Amino acid sequence: MMHFPWNSYGPYHACRTNCHRRRINSHFASYYLYVHAPVATLLRAADHRVDALDLAASGADARRLREAPTFEDYSRPLLDAVRALPDGERAVLVGHSFGGMSVALAAEELPEKVAAAVFVTALMPDCAKPRPDVIEKVPLSDWMDCVMDAEHEPPSVLFGPDFMRRKLYHLSPEEDFTLSQSLLRLSSYYVADMHRRPPFSEARYGAVRKVYVVCGQDQVIVEAYQRRMIADCPVAEVREIAAADHMAMFSAPEELAGHLADVANTYA
């Protein structure tokens, strides 16, 4: 079974059964459940079973952001889902964008249940620096029409339509961009909260096998920064989607689904 988490969209998990009825467990973390639909459809067509869940205060989750004051609170649905796996069963965790941080946390807390961690143009921390270092060093200076709120806890950001169209969805179909605006919610990067925790450990998160999917046309987590994270946190495998923007599940769904299926079959 696979577990796929992606940023403040939600995770879903997919099960694939082969002739030995092997279960591949995947959780995806990202902004909202709908972002997984193109990839989920392709995985279902390849005999994957796909179920969905949202991270705290994201997607259809009823909690407000202030009800998820810490990063662990935010990631709790993923942690609970991985923890609930039967004894002896492990998951392939797939994180997109900020969802990479939730995948890293799950790998740190439950390494024995993680077959591999996949980062799709995602933030991927290393074990030498503070946990939020990869967030703070993202080379993005122009947040355009995003609205920031540093006065309330946790600090939040609301993406603006121009930022989303030009930085996140510039190669994605117009209908996906339009739907994303109607589902938009406040999100937080939990930087101060993460600074209160030690770096991820070599013995736990560091020991989990990692795969990075580079998206060549991302205008937020740009390719050069993706490769910098890979250099700082060596991975078992690097895969590439040259023509994908930040929202690879919309701009290159077939390629992304193919990579994820290959990774699951290799590492699960």
- Pairing between β-strand 210-215 and β-strand 237-241 as defined by DSSP bridges: parallel
Query: pLDDT band at 19, cuts 50/70/90?
Result: very low
Q: Domains of the chain, with CATH numbers?
A: 2-267 (3.40.50.1820)
The pLDDT assigned to 268 comes to: 76
The pLDDT assigned to 182 comes to: 84
Q: Which of 174-188, 200-214, 231-245 has the lowest mean pLDDT?
A: 174-188
Find the mean pLDDT for residues 189-201.
98
Active-site choice (97, 102, 172, 251) = 97
Query: pLDDT band at 14, cuts 50/70/90?
Result: very low
Active-site choice (218, 245, 251, 259) = 218
Active-site choice (27, 36, 96, 246) = 246
The pLDDT assigned to 40 comes to: 76
Find the mean pLDDT for residues 150-173.
96
The pLDDT assigned to 166 comes to: 97
Q: How far is residue 223's CA from residue 242's CA, in Å, rounded to a whole number?
A: 10
CB 16 within 8 Å of CB 43:
yes
Q: Which of 31-45, 166-180, 186-200 has the lowest mean pLDDT?
A: 31-45
Please say if 246 is a catalytic residue.
yes
| CA distances (Å), origin 36, targets 12, 30, 89 | 8, 8, 23
Please say if 195 is a catalytic residue.
no
Digit-coded pLDDT (tens) for 107-127 = 999 999 999 999 999 999 999
How many Å from the N-terminal Cα to the C-terminal Cα in the chain?
8
- In the three-class reduction of DSSP (H, G, I as helix; E, B as strand; rest coil), residue 28 is classed as strand
Q: How far is residue 204's CA from residue 73's CA, in Å, rounded to a whole number?
A: 20
Please say if 172 is a catalytic residue.
no
20 pLDDT exceeds 50?
A: no
Question: Cβ atoms within 10 A of the Cβ of 153, count?
Answer: 14
For residues 249, 122, 66 and 146, what is the CA-based torsion angle, rounded to 10 degrees? -80
